[in-house]
Structure 1
Amino acid sequence: MGIKPSYIKTLGNELVAKQRDNFSNNFEENKQQLGTSAVIGSKRVRNRVAGYITRKINTKRRS
């Protein structure tokens, strides 16, 4: 897929650290949660952050 920009990683890591219980391993649920918990102006950035959070949670569960 490619390398994620640092602003995506930073934002995703901050949100997971503060609101870990609000996010799941489902992309669609995370997308909806980001709409309510964070102010992100761009739909593309919101989707990229939701994807990063989903991937991060899924890799933690597998380990």
Structure 2
Amino acid sequence: MRVEVRPETCVGAGQCVLAAPRLFDQGEDDGLVVLLRARPGLEETAEVLRAVDDCPAGAITLHDD
């Protein structure tokens, strides 16, 4: 699984950081999503799926590689 974010779509709600703080952060200047790691471990799957579902802007997508 590979995570992709689109900061230009992000609204800065921070739901991704709440759901998966080891994978996402927010920019200090603009509050937009920052991807910390594109390839989460299997143990983080539930957190990633929650982040995708909770993102109000749809700025996070998952890809099967």
TM-score by length of 1: 0.28
Query: Which structure exhibits the higher relative contact order, with contacts defined as CA atoms closer than 8 Å and separated by 6 or more residues?
Result: 2
| More helix per residue | 1
